[in-house]
């Protein structure tokens, strides 16, 4: 990995934290916008791990199902516009110096977040500018399998001008049944819920979609429990924490909830999928569990569920 002469990793513009059930430590990335590192910190703060500098903007990492590989997403690979993924091997005594390889995805630009399926060899990306969900297959759980087809899914309905939106976040529910994405414009946020094949992790369709008004750079965090397929959204709108889930019990002809006034910020959108006409059937909806204003003037960062 090339280290540019201008790389100064003492002054960072962004800091992202993560954790792994297989490796009891705090893991994260720090980026100046053009130069980044991946780091690890033991829970007691006694030992710090640090990768070599990466010539790019690394703001998202994902763990393989085995916990033995860490995938770091660089939105811009070196001086190119393509996206790349640096793959670190994590041993029993990790050093963050063992780079298995770097996958350069020449036809994917400005990816904003990466997420690995918890049990299957699939990785999911969202692109910031083209507002797409991209699904990649892995060879084992290490490098991208170039012999398979890269799958793409549109995140926004055709009724919206996608050039006004950018996609910032995705999450997979604890049940592994749903994948959520968040896209935002200067006036509106759109959340899309995809259903996943619980065995293979493949995307099957768009289950539901909803929107709300307001600006904010929101981040999704899935609940640690399976019931309700719930996610938390921090900072959309700015200063708010919102809890949403997938309700599979409501009918096409009605949308109701208890204390509807406190949930009326949420506007259901029609999911674009084929249905048999004239058939009275249940249609999943994005359900509000409420939201709270934390601060009017502060941008919120990542949120964490405590189980």
pLDDT given at position 261: 61
Tokens representing 236? Answer: 């959309």
pLDDT attached to residue 76: 67
Q: How far apart are CA 118 and CA 9, in angstroms?
A: 31
User: Are 234 and 303 contacting, i.e. CB atoms less than 8 angstroms apart?
Assistant: yes
Report the distance separating Cα 156 and Cα 272, nearest Å: 10
Q: Helix, strand or coil for residue 74?
A: strand
* Separation between Cα atoms, residue 209 and residue 257, nearest integer Å: 17
Q: Which CATH number belongs to the domain containing residue 19 in this structure?
A: 2.130.10.10
Answer whether 111's CB lies under 8 Å from 128's CB: yes
pLDDT of residue 274: 40
Residue 8 counted as domain residue: no
Residue carrying the six token digits 């084929």:
274
Let me know if residue 27 belongs to a domain: yes
Beta pairing partners, 282: 251
Full pLDDT tens readout for the chain, 307 residues? 444 445 655 555 565 666 666 666 788 888 888 888 898 887 777 788 889 888 888 889 998 888 889 999 987 654 566 788 999 998 888 888 999 888 888 788 888 899 999 999 999 999 998 999 999 998 876 788 888 889 999 999 999 999 999 998 999 999 999 999 999 999 999 999 999 999 999 999 999 999 999 888 889 999 999 888 999 999 988 889 999 999 987 554 334 445 556 688 999 987 654 443 444 445 789 999 999 998 877 888 778 787 6
Q: For the chain, how many structural domains are there in total?
A: 1
Tell me whether residue 86 is in a domain.
Answer: yes
List all residues 6 or more positions away from 215 whose beta carbon is below 8 Å from its beta carbon: 184, 185, 186, 187, 237, 238
Tell me whether residue 4 is in a domain: no
277 belongs to a structural domain: yes
Q: Evaluate whether 111 touches 73 at the Cβ level (below 8 Å).
A: yes
How far apart are alpha carbons 47 and 38 in whole angstroms? 14
Nearest to 110 by CA among 84, 142, 143, 135: 84
5 assigned to some structural domain: no
Residues spanned by the domain of 239: 14-293
86-94, long-range: CB < 8 A, 24+ apart: 86/1, 86/38, 86/54, 86/58, 87/142, 87/143, 88/38, 88/51, 89/142, 90/23, 94/23, 94/40, 94/49
Is residue 2 domain-resident? no
Residue 299 lies inside a defined structural domain of this protein: no
- Calpha distance 194→135 (Å, rounded): 12
């Amino acid at each position: 990995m090339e280290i540019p002469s201008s790389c100064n990793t003492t002054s960072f513009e962004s800091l992202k934290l993560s954790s792994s059930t297989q490796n009891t430590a705090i893991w994260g990335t720090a980026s100046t916008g053009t130069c980044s590192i991946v780091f690890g910190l033991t829970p007691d703060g006694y030992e710090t791990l640090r990768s070599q500098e990466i010539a790019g903007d690394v703001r998202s990492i994902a763990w393989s199902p085995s916990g033995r590989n860490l995938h770091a997403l660089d939105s811009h690979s070196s001086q190119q516009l393509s996206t790349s993924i640096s793959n670190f091997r994590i041993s029993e005594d990790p050093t963050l110096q063992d780079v298995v390889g770097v996958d350069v995805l020449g036809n994917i630009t400005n990816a904003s977040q990466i997420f690995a399926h918890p049990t299957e060899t699939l990785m999911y990306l969202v692109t910031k500018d083209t507002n797409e969900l991209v699904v990649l297959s892995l060879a084992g759980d290490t490098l991208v399998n170039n012999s398979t087809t890269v799958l793409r899914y549109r995140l926004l309905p055709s009724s919206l001008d996608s050039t006004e939106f950018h996609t910032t976040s995705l999450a997979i529910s604890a049940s592994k049944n749903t994948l959520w994405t968040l896209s935002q414009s200067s006036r509106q946020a759109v959340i899309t819920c995809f259903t996943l094949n619980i065995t293979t992790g493949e995307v099957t369709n768009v289950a539901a979609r909803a929107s709300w008004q307001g600006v904010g750079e929101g981040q999704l965090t899935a609940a640690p429990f399976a019931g309700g397929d719930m996610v938390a959204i921090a900072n959309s709108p700015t200063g708010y924490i919102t809890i949403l889930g997938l309700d599979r019990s409501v009918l096409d002809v009605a949308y109701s909830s208890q204390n509807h006034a406190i949930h009326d910020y949420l506007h259901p959108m029609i999911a674009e999928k084929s249905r048999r006409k004239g058939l009275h059937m249940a249609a999943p909806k994005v359900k509000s569990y409420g939201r709270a204003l934390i601060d009017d003037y502060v941008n919120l960062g990542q949120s964490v569920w405590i189980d």
